[in-house]
Amino acid sequence: MRKVTLLLLSVILLLLTSCATKKPFVQQKVLEKSALLYIYVPNQISLESEPDRDIDYKIKIGNELIDGYIRDGEYMVFNIKPSIAVVTVIKNAILKHTVTLELQAQKNYYIKILKNEDDEFQVLNIQEKEAFNEISKTGLSNSVLISDDEINKNIIKEDDKNSSKLQKIERAIKLKKEGIITVEEFNVLKKEILISN
What pLDDT sits at residue 143?
77
What pLDDT sits at residue 48?
46
Instruction: Identify the band that residue 126 occupies on the pLDDT scale cut at 50, 70 and 90.
Output: very high
DSSP string, 164-188: HHHHHHHHHHHHHHTTSS-HHHHHH
**Domain parsing of the chain, residue ranges:** 35-140, 151-195
Residue type, 144: V
Full-prediction pTM beyond 0.75?
Answer: no
* Mean pLDDT to the nearest integer, 4-10: 52
- Where does 35-140 sit in CATH, by number? 2.60.40
